[in-house]
């Protein structure tokens, strides 16, 4: 409103001119060109939404992948623990067993 420096209210003359122009069919320079329809517009998406079956299948795949990753992590952790324990046992077995006397 500050850009145009115009009042937001229309005067009686402007309203009368607008009504008489629409009644006579004279085109207005700021009027809409489309015809108003009372019917509802329907929204049609460009991409098809996934069905319930697709969503369930997707959820099953995600669960299977998450379980596989968790099992691989547990397997890697157990393997590293076993390797570390074997190295420790070998090192202990190779050292001499001398008693410390006081």
Q: What is the pLDDT of residue 11?
A: 80
pLDDT digits (tens, 9 = 90+) for 16-69: 887 777 666 555 566 556 666 667 667 666 777 778 888 888 888 899 999 999
Q: What is the pLDDT of residue 76?
A: 97
pLDDT band of residue 3 (cuts 50, 70, 90) is low
Predicted confidence (pLDDT) at residue 1 exceeds the cutoff of 50: no
Name the residue ranges covered by the structural domains of the chain. 63-94
Reduce the DSSP state of residue 68 to 3 states and report it.
Answer: helix
Residue pair 28/35 in contact by the 8 Å Cβ criterion: no
Does pTM top 0.75 for this prediction? no
End-to-end Cα, the chain, rounded Å: 99
């Amino acid at each position: 409103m500050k850009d145009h420096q115009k009042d937001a209210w229309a005067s009686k003359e402007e309203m009368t001119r607008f009504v008489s122009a629409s009644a006579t069919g004279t085109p207005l320079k700021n009027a809409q060109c489309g015809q108003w329809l009372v019917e509802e517009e329907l929204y049609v998406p460009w991409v098809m939404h996934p069905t319930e079956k697709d969503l369930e299948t997707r959820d099953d795949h995600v669960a299977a992948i998450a379980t596989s990753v968790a099992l691989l992590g547990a397997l890697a952790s157990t393997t590293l623990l076993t390797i570390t324990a074997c190295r420790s046992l070998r090192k202990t077995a190779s050292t001499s067993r001398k008693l410390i006397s006081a």
